[in-house]
Chain A
């Protein structure tokens, strides 16, 4: 069964909404910010793609967001934007299901809960932080705010969260459990994520991501939300179709990739994965990579899907922001894209999308 992408809600360092995202993809650049983090050598600024959720005030009164953390705000903003983009803001949501994919969940709130335990002792753990640190807190906040009473699913499969969650979202639609899936990918930059990045990559951080240079250690952490409004493809206007989703483990077997599709690589400057991408892409294949627009995060696969949807709607691919690397550059015209995601020694995912 083919899915169609009916709406996109997206927020990241590039700004808020489809237009900002498309502009950044066309221009091929985004301003990278930073986050300060305590290290053994004092406070250090770690480069990071930061997202601003101020746009949420267009949809929700500020006072009702007082107890909502940044992670859930990203989810709320992505949800509202996707519904608005699809013209469904005022529609009934009774046949809507909610699927959220996140690699790390609400890490800032998780760390804040630990802080309460460490600084206050075992009797002073914060109930508010604990309740909001649960992985499905963002889905709950979206459901409560929008009144979504259908099925809700949150998946945390690290780098494979997005394709894995998409497998189940597709099944919901195929089996008629729902007519629409609000599908979101979220990850946030937090002190913990930044500290881990600092320890792995510091103290010298790459000034810019070069994901197609397999030998370079150039990842820069990112955050944001990418929401897609998905339905069965029944001929209604949409960005593009999603033809297939496949995930699993290769365990030494050869990856099979479509020969007629532009390969959209999830490489993000981590050299251990960069080599896997280089080995996986057949010689002469056309490939692109857009991660320098949104940064390195497990949920980046959701941003890949949004970028592919925009390219397919326009019928033209965006150039890779950091250059084509060793691959054949993306062609001017594009009608089929295969989003390729690799993780660990053997995990893979392919999502094939095409022009309607």
Chain B
């Protein structure tokens, strides 16, 4: 079944690269990045693994930082789409948000106090239960449509955008706010260190000397809109969600399939459902975490399915923002496709002879009409979005 395109009329983003989409793009094109040891939480780990934190952002006390980041990115996306609260009230607006920590009953202070035989204040747990990211965004903007918090690990944000596009096509809602949001904290930080897949220096996706990922935090949101509503408003499409594919490796809990079986299937689905040939793809925003396994599998699949197509990873600017990554990278992919310039893959210097290709070394102009963003996740989930060029400005 061929899927018709779904318009993207607004973008919003907050991450270590910047507090807004234009700020982030400036950082990406300028090659700026500044991972530092964590400042928002303490650690007694002897190695200071650098992270990409969002600076100058303070969440309200009643809301999880994850959800507050999501609300901020959604506000920017709605403003970009020129959708006022009054206009939203007359529409059925859905919210679909990916996260890894936004709905987990996971509070170290609470657990520590309970283990010590105290009766800890329930507030941290109540805050989690009141902060489900999709529900929090729906409350903030009065959205009456379906709400969904997707927890597909690091593919969550990509899946959320693909699912929201499906909701629009199915007439389930008129407008959807979709993307991903995740905060960085001690639990995630030490969890990833325990898996021994973090780099103690700034991450180097696809580089010969890559040692792992740097964690990050943030949120990326897109406003998707039905053609009926868009025509009535005269809204310009910045881009279109053309295709979406997702597939499971069914192989291992934390490692990707060595042949990239699920990723290949997800790419095939994303292209087939909109009948776009692989050679029409102008560039790929790769998952590119900087871990030896991920980059090996991904570069192999890219070389085979998209020979000669430029690709890059933006995690050298943002860190791996986990559930937010798919949302943030969807925003970047759309904005870069619109501008026709793809930023260099930050952190890449030395070609790895074991990899099948290499990412972009410098910013490059591209002329094609389509761009791909892909995510690989714990649990063997692979998700891919294909974006098409929007209306002329």
Contact = CB atoms under 8 A, between A and B. Distances in A.
Most buried by B among A133, A156, A171: A156
Interface residues of B, number: 77
B45 A175 contact: no
Nearest to A119: B115
B105 interface: yes
A115 interface: yes
B147 A152 contact: no
Contacts of B94: 248
Interface in A102-129: 104-105, 107, 110-111, 113-115, 117-119, 121-123, 125-127
A344 B249 contact: no
A355 B94 CA distance: 30
A150 interface: yes
Interface stretch (B21-29, B280-288, B343-351, B376-384): B376-384
B215 to A, nearest CB: 13
Interface in B233-265: 245-254, 261-262, 265
A280 interface: no
Contacts of B190: 117, 122, 125
Contact of B269 (A105, A147, A177): A177
Interface stretch (A58-66, A80-88, A194-202, A229-237): A194-202
A149 B191 contact: no
The contact size tier of chain A is 35 or more
A192 to B, nearest CB: 6
Nearest to A151: B246
B318 interface: no
Contact of B379 (A104, A125, A137, A250): A137
B147 A249 contact: yes
A122 B194 CA distance: 9
Interface stretch (B72-80, B163-171, B204-212): B163-171
B147 A140 contact: no
Interface stretch (A26-34, A162-170, A257-265, A270-278): A162-170
B103 interface: yes
Nearest to B132: A158
Given A134-B378, A144-B251, A168 B135 contact: no
Nearest to B46: A123
Interface in B132-164: 132, 134-135, 138-139, 142-153, 159, 163
A125 B196 CA distance: 11
A140 B380 contact: yes
B277 interface: no
A101 to B, nearest CB: 10
A53 interface: no
B122 interface: yes
B194 A139 contact: no
Interface stretch (B6-14, B106-114, B326-334): B106-114
B231 interface: no
B195 A127 contact: yes
Contacts of A105: 103-105, 151
Interface string B112-137: 10110111001001000100101100
Contacts of A164: 146-149
A7 B327 CA distance: 35
Interface in B1-41: 1, 3
B228 interface: no
A175 B193 CA distance: 40
Nearest to A171: B166
Nearest to B106: A110
A248 B144 contact: yes
A176 B272 CA distance: 12
A118 B115 contact: yes
Given A98-B248, A134-B153, A151-B247, 19 more contacts: A105-B103, A107-B105, A115-B115, A123-B44, A123-B46, A133-B104, A135-B100, A135-B153, A136-B378, A143-B379, A144-B251, A144-B252, A146-B250, A153-B159, A158-B129, A160-B147, A164-B146, A246-B146, A249-B147
Interface of B: 1, 3, 43-46, 92, 94, 100, 103-106, 108, 111-112, 114-115, 117-119, 122, 125, 129, 132, 134-135, 138-139, 142-153, 159, 163, 166-167, 169-170, 172, 186-187, 190-196, 245-254, 261-262, 265, 269, 273, 377-381
